[in-house]
């Protein structure tokens, strides 16, 4: 029961954190299209993965309790999404990790109230998408483990016996 409840709440958290990723990266795709350029592969990779991961998370959230998906299948696909998210985060990380988004230090600290600090919008958006991507890597690994635990617990059911659902 606990594994199913944790799985459910982690799926909700995944959906909540995946939508801003593809929203942020869609802005970069639109910006590149407005300039007549092709969007960078680093942005497109994580964008496509985030959209597909959102669809998968929504489908399993609504259909997992109906026994349409087996628990082992959900665990396997979650591990695959976990791996592809790692690839997207690594590609976007090359852009995001070597940038300084904030200019304006003083001896007293930040100068937000003096207007001396300027924050680069595109840099901040890259880093936000990168950070949310890392969070989703961890979340998809956790849901794969939870689905595997649910599958392992229900493995002892006989053919004619109906397993109870988990939430």
Spell 90-102 as b/e; 16+ CB within 10 A means b. ebbbebbeeeebe
pLDDT score of 164: 52
**pLDDT of residue 93 exceeding 80:** yes
**% of the chain exceeding 90 in pLDDT:** 44
CA angle, corner 129, sides to 149 and 26, nearest 5?
110
d(CA 87, CA 137): 10
**More confidently predicted of 12 and 97:** 12
Give me the pLDDT at residue 150, please. Answer: 80
Return d(Cα 56, Cα 35) in angstroms, integer. 32
pLDDT of 109 > 50? The answer is no
pLDDT at 71: 79
Burial of 156 (0-12, 13-18, 19+ CB in 10 A): exposed
Q: Would you say residue 88 has pLDDT above 90?
A: yes
Which of 9-13, 60-64, 122-126 is the least confident region?
A: 60-64
Give 23-59 pLDDT, tens digit per residue: 999 999 999 999 988 888 889 999 999 999 999 999 9
> Which has the closest alpha carbon to 56: 108, 48, 123?
48
| pTM for the full predicted model | 0.80
């Amino acid at each position: 029961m606990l594994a199913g409840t944790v799985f459910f709440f982690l799926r909700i958290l995944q959906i909540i954190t995946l939508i801003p990723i593809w929203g942020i990266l869609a802005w970069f795709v639109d910006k590149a299209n407005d300039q007549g350029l092709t969007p960078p592969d680093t942005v497109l990779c994580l964008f496509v993965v985030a959209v597909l991961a959102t669809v998968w998370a929504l489908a399993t959230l609504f259909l997992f309790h109906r026994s349409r998906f087996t628990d082992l299948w959900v665990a396997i696909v979650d591990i695959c999404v976990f791996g592809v998210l790692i690839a997207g985060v690594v590609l976007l990380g090359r852009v995001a990790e070597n940038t300084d988004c904030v200019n304006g230090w003083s001896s007293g600290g930040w100068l937000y109230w003096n207007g001396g600090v300027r924050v680069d919008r595109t840099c901040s958006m890259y880093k936000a998408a990168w950070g949310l991507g890392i969070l989703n890597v961890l979340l998809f690994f956790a849901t794969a483990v939870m689905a595997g635990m649910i599958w392992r617990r229900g493995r002892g059911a006989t053919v004619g016996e109906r397993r109870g659902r988990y939430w």
